[in-house]
C-alpha cells in the first residue's frame, strides 16, 4: 500500500482534499452569513442550498413555478448523471462530518440491514408528493437544512458562549499580564472564528438533539444517515443508477472481500458487483484492494438498473399518506385562527406559500443582525416548526437592513430593495394601556416614540393631564400609533422599558406579505 502511494498520488487523497475544502468553504460561508459593514452581502452565502436538487425540486413543486435562484442545482443533477453520487462522497459537508466522526471514534462492528436502504426513497417520494400538495416537510430532512439550522440555532451560539466565557474569566479574574495576552487573542477570534454577537434562540436544544441523533446513528452503521435516510441521497441515488462512471471488479480479484468490509456505503455486495446507486466514489476500495482488481471507468450502463425492491404495500402506503396529510392542514385551527403574534420577516410571501417554500434552513435567523428572527415552535402549526418569525422582545427588525431576503435560498423571503423593505408592513403596533407607563402609572416615558424609525414617526404623543399614583395631577406625554405609518418593525416593543411583557406590542399583518407566489423571480 505504501509502495503504491510513493509512485502516484492516490485518488483517495484527492477526495479527502475535496471534502476538506468543501467543508471549509461551508464553514467560511456560514461565518460570512452576517453583516460585514456593507448593506449587501457580496458572497453567495446560500450557494450550498442553491446547488441542492432536493431543495430545488421540493420548493419548485410547492411553488408550482420555476425558481431561478435554484437552477444552479441542475449542475449537480448533470454531474450526478455522469459521475454518480460524488456529491455524497466528495462534496456534502454533512457526509464529511460523519466521516470525520468515524475517524475520531471508529465503529467496530456494523449492524447492517439492507432493508433500511429503501427508507430514503420512500422519504423522498413522500417529501416531493406532499410538497406538491402543499405539505412542506423537506426542511426537516434536507441535509443542508439540518446542518445549517443546527449550527445556527445551537452549535454556533454554544461555541460563542463557551469561548467568550473562557476569555471573560481570564479578563475578570486573571492577572493583568495574562489578560492582556488573552484579550488580544480574543479580539483576533472575534474578528475571525466567532460570531459578532452572542445570539439566543428558541429550540436550540431541540436542534442540537436532532444533530446528535444523526451522529448517533453512526454507532449502528457507517453513514447511516446517507445510506438509509437522506432524501437528497435518495434522489441522487436514483439518478446514479444511470450514471456513466462506475466501479468494476476485474477478474484479477481473488475474492478476499476486503472491499466489502471497508466500503462505507456498503455498495459492494458479496457477489462482487458495485452498486452505482450506493457508491459515493470515496475510492477507498480502489486504494485498499490488495489485488488492485477494482477500477473506475466511464461506461454506458448496459443492463437495466436493478429494481428498488420497495413492496407494493409500502409504496401505496407512502403515497396515500402523502396524499392525505395535506388535507389535514385545511382543518387545523391555525387555518381558521392564525396566531396574531406570528410576524414573518419583511418580504415573506403570503403565509401558505411561505410555508411551502421555506426550507427551514435557518439562513435568515443566522444573518438577522438583531437576533430578531427566531424559529417557530407551534405558532404556525406543526408543519411550521423551525420556520422564522420575528420576536420583538428579543430583537427588532432593523429599519435599514435587508439581509434576510438576500440569503433566503428559495425566495420564501423576497429580496426587497431597501426603499421597498422600509415600506413593507409586517405588523402593527398597539398600546396596552393597562401596562404602558404614561397611561397606567402616570409616569413619563415615551421611549417607544424616540426609537420609532419611520421618517415621520408612526408613534406620536399628546400631552394629557392625569392623576399619578401619588394623587398629584401631572402633565404627561401619552403615546399613540398612527396605523398608516407603522410597519411593525417591533423596535418599540423591544425598547419598552417595562420588564416582562411590553406596554406596546406588535401583531402581524397578513396583508403586508408579498402577494404573488412568483413575484420574486
Residues near other proteins, by CB under 8 A: 35, 37, 168, 171-172, 196, 369-370, 398-401, 437, 443-447, 449-451, 453-457, 461, 477, 495-497
Min dist CB 491 to other proteins, Å, is: 8
Question: Is the Cβ of residue 115 or residue 419 nearer to other proteins in the bound state?
Answer: 419
Min dist CB 450 to other proteins, Å, is: 6
Question: Is the Cβ of residue 414 or residue 448 nearer to other proteins in the bound state?
Answer: 448
CA distance 390 to 448: 18
Question: Is the Cβ of residue 142 or residue 493 nearer to other proteins in the bound state?
Answer: 493
Min dist CB 475 to other proteins, Å, is: 12
Q: Is 269 helix (H, G, I), strand (E, B) or coil?
A: coil
Contact criterion met (CB below 8 Å) for 308 and 121 = yes
Min dist CB 270 to other proteins, Å, is: 60
Min dist CB 455 to other proteins, Å, is: 4
Query: What Rg value do the Cα atoms of the chain yield, rounded?
Result: 27
Contact criterion met (CB below 8 Å) for 222 and 110 = yes
Beta bridge partners of 474: 466
Q: Going by C-beta distance under 8 Å and a sequence separation of 6 or more, which residues neighbour residue 373?
A: 345, 364, 365, 388, 389, 390, 391, 395, 404
Question: Is the Cβ of residue 35 or residue 315 nearer to other proteins in the bound state?
Answer: 35
Write the CA distances from 276 to 76, 91, 346, 350, 462, integer angstroms. Answer: 16, 17, 44, 42, 74
Question: Is the Cβ of residue 156 or residue 383 nearer to other proteins in the bound state?
Answer: 156
Min dist CB 369 to other proteins, Å, is: 5
Q: What is the DSSP letter of 361?
A: -
Min dist CB 500 to other proteins, Å, is: 13
Contact criterion met (CB below 8 Å) for 497 and 486 = no
Q: Residue 473 is placed in which grid cell? A: 395631577
How many other C-beta atoms can be found within 10 angstroms of the C-beta atom of residue 411?
Answer: 26
Min dist CB 454 to other proteins, Å, is: 7
CA distance 207 to 199: 15
Q: Going by C-beta distance under 8 Å and a sequence separation of 6 or more, which residues neighbour residue 88?
A: 95, 226, 230, 233, 236, 265, 280
Amino acid at each position: 500500500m505504501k509502495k503504491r502511494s510513493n509512485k502516484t498520488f492516490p485518488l483517495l487523497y484527492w477526495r479527502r482534499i475535496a471534502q476538506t475544502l468543501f467543508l471549509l468553504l461551508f464553514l467560511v460561508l456560514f461565518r460570512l452569513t452576517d453583516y460585514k459593514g456593507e448593506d449587501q452581502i457580496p458572497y453567495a452565502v446560500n450557494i450550498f442550498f442553491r446547488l441542492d436538487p432536493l431543495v430545488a425540486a421540493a420548493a419548485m413543486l410547492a411553488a408550482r413555478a420555476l425558481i431561478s435562484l435554484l437552477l444552479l442545482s441542475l449542475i449537480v443533477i448533470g454531474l450526478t448523471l455522469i459521475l454518480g453520487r460524488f456529491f455524497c462522497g466528495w462534496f456534502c459537508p454533512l457526509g464529511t462530518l460523519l466521516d470525520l466522526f468515524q475517524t475520531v471514534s471508529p465503529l467496530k462492528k456494523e449492524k447492517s440491514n439492507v432493508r433500511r436502504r429503501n427508507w430514503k426513497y420512500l422519504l423522498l417520494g413522500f417529501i416531493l408528493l406532499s410538497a406538491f400538495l402543499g405539505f412542506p416537510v423537506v426542511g426537516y430532512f434536507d441535509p443542508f437544512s439540518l446542518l445549517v439550522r443546527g449550527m445556527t440555532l445551537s452549535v454556533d451560539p454554544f461555541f460563542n458562549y463557551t469561548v467568550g466565557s473562557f476569555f471573560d474569566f481570564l479578563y475578570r479574574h486573571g492577572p493583568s499580564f495574562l489578560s492582556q495576552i488573552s484579550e488580544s487573542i480574543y479580539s483576533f477570534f472575534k474578528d475571525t472564528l466567532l460570531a459578532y454577537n452572542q445570539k439566543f434562540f428558541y429550540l436550540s436544544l431541540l436542534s442540537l438533539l436532532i444533530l446528535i441523533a444523526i451522529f448517533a446513528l453512526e454507532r449502528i452503521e457507517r453513514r447511516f444517515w446517507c445510506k438509509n435516510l437522506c432524501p437528497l441521497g435518495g434522489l441522487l441515488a436514483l439518478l446514479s443508477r444511470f450514471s456513466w462512471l462506475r466501479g468494476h471488479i476485474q477478474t484479477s480479484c481473488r475474492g478476499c472481500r476486503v472491499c466489502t468490509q471497508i466500503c462505507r456505503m456498503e455498495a459492494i455486495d458479496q457477489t462482487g458487483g458495485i452498486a452505482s446507486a450506493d457508491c459515493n466514489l470515496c475510492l477507498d476500495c480502489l486504494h485498499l484492494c490488495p489485488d488492485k482488481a477494482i477500477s473506475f471507468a466511464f461506461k454506458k450502463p448496459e443492463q437495466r438498473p436493478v429494481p428498488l425492491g420497495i413492496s407494493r404495500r409500502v409504496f401505496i402506503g407512502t403515497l396515500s399518506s402523502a396524499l392525505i396529510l395535506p388535507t389535514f392542514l385545511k382543518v387545523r385551527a391555525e387555518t381558521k385562527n392564525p396566531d396574531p403574534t406570528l410576524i414573518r420577516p419583511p418580504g415573506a410571501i403570503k403565509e401558505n406559500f411561505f410555508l411551502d417554500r421555506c426550507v427551514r434552513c435557518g439562513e435568515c435567523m443566522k444573518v438577522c443582525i438583531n437576533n430578531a428572527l427566531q424559529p417557530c415552535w407551534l405558532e404556525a402549526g406543526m408543519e411550521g416548526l423551525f420556520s422564522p418569525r420575528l420576536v420583538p422582545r428579543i430583537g427588532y427588525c432593523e429599519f435599514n437592513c435587508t439581509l434576510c431576503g438576500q440569503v433566503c435560498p428559495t425566495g420564501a423571503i423576497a429580496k426587497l430593495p431597501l426603499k421597498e423593505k422600509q415600506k413593507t408592513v409586517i405588523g402593527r403596533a398597539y398600546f396596552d394601556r393597562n401596562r404602558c407607563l404614561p397611561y397606567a402609572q402616570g409616569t413619563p416615558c415615551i421611549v417607544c416614540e424616540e426609537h420609532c424609525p419611520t421618517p415621520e414617526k408612526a408613534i406620536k404623543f399628546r400631552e394629557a393631564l392625569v392623576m399619578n399614583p401619588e394623587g398629584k395631577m401631572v402633565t404627561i406625554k401619552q403615546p399613540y400609533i398612527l396605523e398608516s405609518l407603522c410597519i411593525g418593525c417591533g423596535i418599540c416593543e423591544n425598547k419598552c422599558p417595562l420588564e416582562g411583557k411590553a406596554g406596546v406590542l406588535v401583531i402581524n399583518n397578513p396583508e403586508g406579505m408579498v402577494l404573488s407566489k412568483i413575484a420574486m423571480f
